[in-house]
């Protein structure tokens, strides 16, 4: 059984085997949690991302996929970068957001990670409504078979924390 925990705060301050980044397909950094992870984690993360681009993801990491790098100076062994979908009013992209959680846990299993911290993927710059993002995140983690013992959702503000808490109860 995987235990789900909720924390309100900055994911770059967390200690975990793996910290998940809400990246974009370039893997070269950006704003939001991605910017914060690269800033606090230092240049080793970007160097690994550049290697991955050169070896596997010249066209970018597809939406819904996940890949691991060093965690640099973060208090973790790995950063797992996943690319969430942008929210669309025309098209249901829920399966892609669910895939981010499933694929991140699959990568975590490959690495042997037992504790994994997730932000609310797609719920910032990519515009996903927080309540729905929380529903998909919690449902998908509950439905995924994994050896990860603790999934910790690290929510930046109280609104996000409450949305997730409402799904856990
Ligand atoms: N710790 C925890 N959560 C955070 C932190 C932090 N330090 N900083 C922001 N959040 P976002 P997305 C929350 O925008 O929507 C980047 O430019 C934030 O409040 O980081 O998947 C990438 O390069 C929100 O609830 O990711 C992509 O281009 C959640 O994390 C794009 O943004 C996700 O917000 C990805 O957009």
ipTM: 0.99
The answer to whether the pTM exceeds 0.95 is: yes
Instruction: Pick the residue whose CA is nearest to atom 10 on ligand 1.
Output: 33
**pLDDT band, very low/low/confident/very high, at 9 (cuts 50, 70, 90):** very high
To the query of whether residue 132 is one of the catalytic residues in this protein, the response is: no
- Cα distance between residue 17 and residue 10, in whole Å: 16
pLDDT-derived band of residue 1, with 50, 70 and 90 as boundaries?
Answer: confident
| Residue 145 phi, psi dihedral angles, 5° rounding | -80, 125
Question: Using only C-alpha atoms, what is the Rg of the chain?
Answer: 14
28 lines ligand 1 (CB under 6 A): no
Catalytic residue among 17, 34, 75, 92: 34
């Amino acid at each position: 059984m995987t235990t789900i925990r909720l924390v309100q705060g900055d994911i770059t301050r967390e200690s975990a085997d793996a910290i998940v980044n809400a990246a974009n397909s370039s893997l070269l950094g950006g704003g939001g949690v991605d910017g914060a992870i690269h800033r606090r984690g230092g240049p080793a993360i970007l160097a690994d991302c550049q290697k991955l681009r050169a070896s596997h993801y010249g066209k970018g990491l597809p939406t819904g996929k996940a890949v691991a790098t060093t965690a640099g100076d973060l208090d973790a062994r790995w950063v797992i970068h996943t690319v969430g979908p942008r929210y669309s009013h025309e098209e249901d992209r829920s399966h892609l957001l669910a895939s981010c959680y499933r694929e991140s846990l699959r990568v975590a299993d490959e690495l042997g990670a037992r504790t994994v911290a997730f932000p609310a993927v797609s719920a910032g710059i990519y515009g996903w409504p927080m309540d729905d993002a929380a529903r998909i995140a919690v449902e998908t983690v509950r439905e995924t078979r994994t050896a990860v013992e603790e999934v910790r959702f690290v929510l930046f503000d109280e609104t996000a924390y409450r949305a997730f808490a409402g799904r856990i109860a």
